[in-house]
Amino acid sequence: MVKRRTVLSEDELKIVQKNRTDEEVFEEFFKDCYLRNLRPTTIKYYENEFHASKKLIQKDLVQWQPEDVEEFICRSKDLMTITSINTRLRALRCFYNFCSKKKILKRNPMKETKMLRDRQKTIETLDNNEIETLIKTIRKDRTFVSFRDEVIMLLFLDTGIRLSELAGIKLQDVQGNKVIIRLTKNLFERTVYLSEITQEQLERYIKIRGDLATDYLFVNRDNKPLNRHSIQTRFQKYGRDARIQKRVSPHTFRHTMARRMILMGIDAFSLMTLLGHSDMTITKKYVNLWGADIEAKHRKHGALKGLRL
């Protein structure tokens, strides 16, 4: 008796179904990124991580199975840190979630994959003495560049803005004691506020800067917009010159600002707004991290202190 043909087998389905290439799917994925108005740096991040992942496994992403993801993680552990692996996994997760949503792939190979657990690293901040030493080190050179860098450092410490946000500030964004931050990570503009000393130094810098062809606030010695790499390398140099053992960077200044604000009693929601966090997760991490300091402050300045009850 001849066997009747009914449902196609898995092997037969592979013959019938059109195999999509990475190039075809990437074109759809990145088109979706542009339509969602993702930042160019985010799109570049996806491109880099996809390319690196394919290179490690030697297989198109659209052909990956759960075991390929597992193999990718195992190989990665010999090559990079847990933080770097998780960064790559997040990019891959976005890609496979898109493929699942568009029904490009029958199965999401990362459906059961979780981020790798990592040890909680200590977040370094600068103390009063280190901040004052840095300022003194910068002021040793009485040049336009050193004065500019002093103002940049004050702005970082006063507002907690990111390096990319500082590099994107334009003259018209400075409005008295506040600065409008437009080039943000989450695309939401926000306002940060300046203390009296930062406002005064910034006004002096703007006078010295003068009228230029560019409207970017911070410029180099050739009157061109200052790039992010230059800012990073200069503060690394100041840190070495000041013999500070900690990492001196824009992100260290951001952490320092957060810690000092928490110790002064700012609430988590206000801090989240000032730092430009899209949710409370990282802000809570800061609050929990420096909670011991707040506990000591409460013991010293508690509301019931001095009452005879």
Confidence of residue 27 (pLDDT cuts 50, 70, 90): very high
Same domain, 35 and 169: no
User: Which of 33-42, 63-72, 122-131, 265-274 is modeled with the greatest confidence?
Assistant: 63-72
Which of residues 51, 86, 101 is at a domain's end?
A: 101
Same domain, 155 and 81: no
Q: What is the pLDDT of residue 264?
A: 82
Same domain, 213 and 143: yes
At residue 69, does pLDDT exceed 80?
Answer: yes
Query: Residue 196's domain spans which residues?
Result: 128-300
Q: What is the domain count for the chain? A: 2
Residue 106 lies in a domain: no
Maximal C-alpha separation, the chain: 100
Q: What is the pLDDT of residue 299?
A: 66
Percent of the chain with pLDDT over 70: 87
What integer best gives the mean pLDDT of the chain? 87
| 71-116 pLDDT, tens digit each | 999 999 989 999 899 999 999 999 999 999 988 888 899 999 998 8
More confident: 70 or 123:
70
Residue 275 lies in a domain: yes
Q: What is the CATH number of the domain that holds 188?
A: 1.10.443.10
Same domain, 224 and 282: yes
Q: What is the pLDDT of residue 29?
A: 95
At residue 18, does pLDDT exceed 70?
Answer: no
At residue 17, does pLDDT exceed 60?
Answer: no
At residue 271, does pLDDT exceed 90?
Answer: no
Same domain, 139 and 89: no
